[in-house]
């Protein structure tokens, strides 16, 4: 007899072994965590906040992936390049306010500031620096959205109806192209984004908790709430309809092209926000855009896959899970660094992803593809 | 009946390697030219392209192209014929290179190695990569489409990390530095004088052959070997099963194609090709560096397939020529412009080149910070643009263009 309850279906016998493994690993992690919590609560709390901060950054990037995937059914491999581009826009816009730099604006070898055409319209503005920064970020996000729109119009729109993988490879091509320009802009000197909180934070039991962790969490929460309400708006319903069945949506009078464009603009904005946080702790201690910034998207991919490519909830939980796994592994397995290799926390997300996919091939919240012969 | 295209009187005839006499003659000539290309012969050296591709540094680039072709043929079996898109081809190449250096490299304080001859380490590289391919296939077979692409992408990152671990450095050498790779000399066992000397200039039979010519001929022989294997595999039972899986996997399974088994075979064979190519790639550079086998290399192979034409045997070969040679042509063109002193080329050079302050897009200064990119950077941009343009304008790649031209002339003067 077929299993009656839907919730029991995941306890299929064939999945028994991987599921047992998964629960075993989770149980071991829980016990280990409790021991560490009893040992040094302050350190545990710091690690926890750090992991939530990182998880929020991953969730932000993952949300961008999911938004674009839900509308266009493709993975946007250029998300990392868009993130770095967005963060660069911020860096260029705020670099002219000398209060941030404290010295002359960094000029290149020929004496001009690169990308000087990008004048910040707020330069004459008085008022507090954090307000200037926030408004500059808003302008940068508008630029980022414009980049997303242009990319969608030039490279993605002509591919409507083509095989999905072709579109994914196009975004890989975009990633390569963008990366050249981004790296060219940052190769000589790092481009600080001058976030108002800097490296500061507050201490709990002697352990520093950066404001940037909190900022990342708040931003991620705001973004997810915004997307939640967006999907309930008229446009959001149109977007979900397009995701469900492109042709049927078109037949109902939904402008599929516009839905694509909006998804890409929103994806680029989320990528840019993620890119700003990718220059802050816990991702990066340099506070500036460098060649590593664009890799944030590849680090966040396991989160998307674990959560399921088409699930907003999955993006949030996947991001947090991967962030927790990465930070805790980095904190508590550091004694074995020589055997695990320098920088081993960076591959923890991928290991988690491979194990997760063994259990659920479409991620934990993804919709399994239904196939007919 | 002679010379009617698409008229086949038997199944065997249709499945021949080269179905028509024209193809047989043209292919024989083409292969002969390829083999004679490095030598300074009266008529052959006058053919366009062959004129310069046969000398000096171009031979090294051609050898690299041939190695890329082997790997691309492997990826074509998996992705073009089997429809299983893999971004992890560079990972399997890296596995092959590491296995090869473990078998063939020298043992030292910081490195492991056995100093075995090439006939052990070259197939060993392939077998090791194939084994790893079989090892990951349980995950890879369960997931499909873009999920598979990302799983294989994860493999690339895991592989790159391998070079950071304390045990990984024993095989792969220090991070960012790497280790020396064994030469391509063919030895019976570990004797001093090689049976077939590939790594230094010398005499082969009655001919004086330089090092680069030897390298090229060695790679060409291997590439032809692998191309024949790939072609034969794709027209065999396995190839047909894989095509059925690619076109509709559930339908194939219903018809009795053992999906899991054939996907496993595809992964293993494609990894074997990749492993051998990875070992040859490192042998060309005479150095194994794990950082070489990153995501960019994987994307290059995807691009080779898409630009050449996926699912055909000629496609990966054309694609690797295009993807490897176009950047070199651009570089050579820039050098040629730089050397121009007068006439229209000089005007063009003035418009395109810059050494810093003047107008132009290609920066020829040694260090090129800021805007105006160097040739190398422009080549990467061009590479990305080519992927996009080909996918939008000609999804079947150069092979598709060729098919259209051929079909036009086949039915000339009618339009259809």
pLDDT digits (tens, 9 = 90+) for B124-150: 999 999 999 999 888 888 787 888 888
Q: What is the pLDDT of residues B198-250, one digit of tens each?
A: 888 888 877 888 889 999 999 999 999 999 999 999 999 999 999 999 998 88
Residue of B nearest to A371 (CA): B250
A198 φψ region: left (φ > 0), alpha (ψ -120 to 50), beta (else): left
What per-residue confidence (pLDDT) applies to A97? 64
* 3-class DSSP string for B255-284: CCCCHHHHHHHHHHHHHHHHHHHHHHHHHH
What per-residue confidence (pLDDT) applies to A276? 94
Cα of A280 to nearest chain B Cα, Å:
23
pLDDT confidence tier of residue A359, bands split at 50, 70 and 90: confident
Residues of B in contact with A165 (CB under 8 A): 85, 145-146, 149
pLDDT confidence tier of residue B22, bands split at 50, 70 and 90: confident
Q: Is the pLDDT of residue A183 over 90?
A: no
Residue B399 DSSP class? H
* 3-class DSSP string for chain A: CCCCCHHHHHHCHHHHHHHHHHHHHHHHHHHHHHHHHHHCHHHHHHHHHHHHHHHHHHHHHHHHHHHHHHHHCCCCCCHHHHHHHHHHHHHHHHCCCHHHHCCCCCCCCCCCCCCCCCCCCCCCCCCCHHHHHHHHHHHHHHHHHHHHHHHHHHHHHHHCCCCHHHHHHHHHHHHHHHHHHHHHHHCCCCEECCCCCCCCEEEECCEEEEHHHHHHHHHHHHHHHHHHHHCCCHHHHHHHHHHHCHHHHHHCCCCHHHHHHHHHHHHHHHHHHHHHHCCCCCCCCCCEECCCHHHHHHHHHHHHHHHCCCCHHHHHHHHHHHHHHHHHHHHHCHHHHHHHCCCHHHHHHHHHHHHHHHHCCCCCCCCCCCCCC
Q: What are B390's two structure tokens?
A: 């080909």
What per-residue confidence (pLDDT) applies to A189? 65
What per-residue confidence (pLDDT) applies to B266? 93
Q: How far is CA A70 from CA A133, A138, A220, A227, in A?
A: 32, 25, 19, 12
Q: Is the pLDDT of residue B75 over 90?
A: yes
Between these two residues, B159 and B361, which has the higher pLDDT value? B159
What per-residue confidence (pLDDT) applies to B119? 92
Q: What is the pLDDT of residues A251-281, one digit of tens each?
A: 999 998 999 999 999 999 999 999 999 999 8
Cα of A279 to nearest chain B Cα, Å:
21
What per-residue confidence (pLDDT) applies to A340? 86
Q: Is the N-terminal amide bond of B413 cis, ω within 30° of 0?
A: yes
- 8 Å CB contact of B383 and A176: yes
The mean pLDDT of B44-68, rounded to a whole number, is 86
Mean pLDDT, rounded, of chain B = 87
The mean pLDDT of B286-311, rounded to a whole number, is 91
- 8 Å CB contact of A354 and B357: no
How far apart, in whole angstroms, are the C-alpha atoms of residue B104 and residue A108? 48
What per-residue confidence (pLDDT) applies to A112? 47
Can you list the alpha helix ranges (DSSP code H) found in B163-294?
168-172, 211-234, 237-247, 249-254, 259-285
What per-residue confidence (pLDDT) applies to B344? 79
Q: Is the pLDDT of residue A2 over 50?
A: no
The mean pLDDT of A236-244, rounded to a whole number, is 87
Q: Is the pLDDT of residue A107 over 60?
A: no
pLDDT confidence tier of residue B371, bands split at 50, 70 and 90: low
- 8 Å CB contact of A173 and B380: no
Cα of A237 to nearest chain B Cα, Å:
25
Most confident of A204-208, B173-177, B362-366: A204-208
pLDDT confidence tier of residue A245, bands split at 50, 70 and 90: confident
Which of A92, A175, A184 is most worth mutating to test chain B (most B CB atoms within 10 A of its CB)? A184
How far apart, in whole angstroms, are the C-alpha atoms of residue A210 and residue A195? 12
Window from A68-72, A165-169, A294-298, B340-344 with minimum mean pLDDT: B340-344
Between these two residues, A206 and B348, which has the higher pLDDT value? A206
Window from A80-89, B20-29, B294-303 with minimum mean pLDDT: B20-29
Q: Is the pLDDT of residue A115 over 60?
A: no
Mean pLDDT, rounded, of chain A = 84
Residues 235-294 of B with CB under 8 A from A: 248-251, 254
pLDDT confidence tier of residue A17, bands split at 50, 70 and 90: low
Residue of A nearest to B302 (CA): A169
Between these two residues, B171 and A16, which has the higher pLDDT value? B171
Q: Is the pLDDT of residue A109 over 70?
A: no
The mean pLDDT of B10-39, rounded to a whole number, is 87
Q: What are B87's two structure tokens?
A: 């971004």
The mean pLDDT of A144-168, rounded to a whole number, is 89
Residue of B nearest to A308 (CA): B147
Output b/e per residue, A34-44; b: 16+ Cβ within 10 A.
eebeeeeeebb
The alpha carbons of chain A give a radius of gyration, in whole angstroms, of 22
pLDDT confidence tier of residue B303, bands split at 50, 70 and 90: very high
Q: Domain-by-domain residue ranges, chain B? A: 19-55, 57-293
Instruction: Determine which helix (DSSP H) or strand (DSSP E) holds B363, and give its type and residue range.
Output: strand B362-363
ipTM metric: 0.87
Residue of B nearest to A166 (CA): B391
How far apart, in whole angstroms, are the C-alpha atoms of residue B273 and residue B288? 18
Q: Is the pLDDT of residue A12 over 50?
A: no
What per-residue confidence (pLDDT) applies to A285? 86
- Give me the count of residues in chain B: 416
Q: Is the pLDDT of residue B402 over 80?
A: yes
């Amino acid at each position: 007899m077929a299993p009656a309850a839907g919730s029991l279906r995941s306890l299929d016998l064939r999945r028994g072994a991987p599921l047992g493994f998964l629960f075993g690993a989770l149980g071991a992690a829980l016990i280990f965590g409790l021991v560490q919590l009893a040992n040094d609560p302050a350190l545990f709390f710091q690690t926890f906040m750090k992991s939530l901060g990182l998880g929020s950054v991953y969730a932000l990037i993952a949300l961008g992936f999911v938004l674009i995937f839900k509308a266009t059914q493709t993975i946007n491999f250029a998300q990392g390049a868009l993130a770095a581009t967005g963060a660069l826009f911020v860096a260029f816009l705020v670099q002219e306010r000398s209060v941030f730099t404290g010295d002359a604006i960094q000029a290149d070898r020929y004496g001009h500031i690169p990308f000087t055409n990008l004048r910040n319209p707020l330069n004459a503005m008085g008022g507090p620096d954090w307000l200037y920064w926030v408004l500059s970020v808003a302008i940068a996000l508008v630029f980022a959205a414009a980049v997303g729109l242009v990319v969608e119009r030039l490279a993605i729109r002509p591919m409507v109806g083509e095989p999905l993988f072709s579109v994914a490879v196009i975004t890989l091509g975009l990633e390569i192209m963008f990366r050249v320009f981004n790296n060219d802009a940052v190769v000589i000197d790092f481009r600080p984004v001058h976030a108002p909180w800097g490296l500061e934070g507050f201490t709990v039991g002697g352990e520093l908790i950066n404001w940037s962790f909190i900022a990342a969490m708040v931003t991620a929460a705001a973004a997810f709430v915004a997307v939640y309400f967006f999907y309930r708006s008229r446009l959001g319903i149109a977007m979900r309809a397009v995701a469900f069945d492109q042709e049927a949506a078109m037949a109902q009078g939904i402008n599929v092209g516009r839905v694509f464009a909006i998804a890409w603009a929103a994806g680029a904005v989320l990528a840019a926000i993620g890119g700003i946080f990718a220059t802050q702790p816990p991702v990066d201690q340099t506070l500036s855009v460098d060649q590593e910034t664009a890799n944030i998207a590849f680090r966040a991919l396991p989160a998307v896959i674990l959560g399921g490519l088409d699930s907003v909830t999955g993006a949030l939980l996947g991001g947090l899970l991967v962030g927790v796994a990465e930070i805790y592994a980095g904190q508590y397995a550091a004694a074995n660094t020589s055997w695990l290799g320098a920088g081993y926390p960076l591959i923890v997300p991928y290991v988690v992803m491979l194990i997760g996919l063994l259990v659920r091939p479409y991620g934990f919240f993804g919709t399994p593809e239904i196939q007919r012969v | 009946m002679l010379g009617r295209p698409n008229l086949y009187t038997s199944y065997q005839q249709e499945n021949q390697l080269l179905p028509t006499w024209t193809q047989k003659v043209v292919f024989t000539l083409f292969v002969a030219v390829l083999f004679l290309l490095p030598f300074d012969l009266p008529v052959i050296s006058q053919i366009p392209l062959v004129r310069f591709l046969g000398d000096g540094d171009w031979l090294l680039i051609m050898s690299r192209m041939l190695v890329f072709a082997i790997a691309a043929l492997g990826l074509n079996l998996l992705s073009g014929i089997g429809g299983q898109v893999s971004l992890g081809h560079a990972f399997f190449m890296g596995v092959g290179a590491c296995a090869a250096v473990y078998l063939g490299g020298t043992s030292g304080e910081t490195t492991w190695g056995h100093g075995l001859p090439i006939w052990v380490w070259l197939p060993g590289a392939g077998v090791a990569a194939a084994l790893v391919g079989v090892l990951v296939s349980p995950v890879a077979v369960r997931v499909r489409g873009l999920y598979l692409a990302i799983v294989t992408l994860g493999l690339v990152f895991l592989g790159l990390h391998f070079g950071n671990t304390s045990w990984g450095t024993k095989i792969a050498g220090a991070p960012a530095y790497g280790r020396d790779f064994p030469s391509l000399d063919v030895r019976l066992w570990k004797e001093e004088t090689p049976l077939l000397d590939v790594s230094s200039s010398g005499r082969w039979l009655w001919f004086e052959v330089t090092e680069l010519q030897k390298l090229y001929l060695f790679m060409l022989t291997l590439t032809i070997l692998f191309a024949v294997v790939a072609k034969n595999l794709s027209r065999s039972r396995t190839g047909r099963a894989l095509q059925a899986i690619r076109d509709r996997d559930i339908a194939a399974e219903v018809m009795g194609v053992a999906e899991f088994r054939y996907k496993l075979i595809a992964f293993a064979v494609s990894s074997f090709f990749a492993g051998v190519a990875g070992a040859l790639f490192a042998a060309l550079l005479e150095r194994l560096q794990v950082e070489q086998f990153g995501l960019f290399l994987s994307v290059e192979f995807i691009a080779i397939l898409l630009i050449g034409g996926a699912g055909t045997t000629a496609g990966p070969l054309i694609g690797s020529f295009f993807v490897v040679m176009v950047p070199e042509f651009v570089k050579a063109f820039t050098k040629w412009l730089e050397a121009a002193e007068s006439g229209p080329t000089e005007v063009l050079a003035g418009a395109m080149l810059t050494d810093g302050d003047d107008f132009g897009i290609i920066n020829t200064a040694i260090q090129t910070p800021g805007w105006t990119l160097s040739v190398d950077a422009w080549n990467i941009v061009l590479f990305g643009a080519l992927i996009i343009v080909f996918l939008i304008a000609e999804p079947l790649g150069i092979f598709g263009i060729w098919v259209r031209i051929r079909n036009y002339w086949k039915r000339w003067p009618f339009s259809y």
